[in-house]
Amino acid sequence: MKKGLFAVIILIFSGLVFLMAGMLTAADVADVIIIENKGHDPDRRGPVKLTHKKHAEDYEVACSECHHEYENGKNVWKEGDPVKECIECHDTAEKRDNADKLQTAFHNNCQGCHRELKDKEAPYRRCTDCHERKKN
């Protein structure tokens, strides 16, 4: 009888550990990410507010749609891997190896996805649909 009770306690404890890990992982998703235009010359547009949590949870965009680590032409990044700053691979001034310029990478990924949706709720036609007015 004691072995059965011990097994139940271990099972409950294990379930709580996995539940807490899932909650902590979900809590790591930022609500909003501000994408600055630092390094662009000239910097004509204001920043973009990416509703990160909404894209991840409400729109169910897979993390690997934006986060990536390419090896032999294949994205090997998986959820839970470290997230690099985009600028580590995407330079603001020029294309590096197979990595597009930073602005090109953002535009291709964001606009491309929004264009595929063909939905008025997914802006992609005008710069001011995504970029805030630049503060002088």
Q: What is the DSSP string of 62-91?
A: -GGGT---EETTEE---TTSPPPPGGGTS-
For the chain, the structural domain boundaries read 1-29, 31-129
Fold of 31-129: Cytochrome C3 (3.90.10)
pLDDT, tens digit, 9 for 90 and up, residues 64-120? 989 999 899 899 999 889 998 888 889 988 898 889 998 889 888 888 888 887 666
CB atoms inside a 10 Å sphere around CB 56: 17
Model confidence band, residue 40 (pLDDT cutoffs 50, 70, 90)? low
For 129, which DSSP code? G
**Pairing verdict, β 48-50 and 33-35:** antiparallel
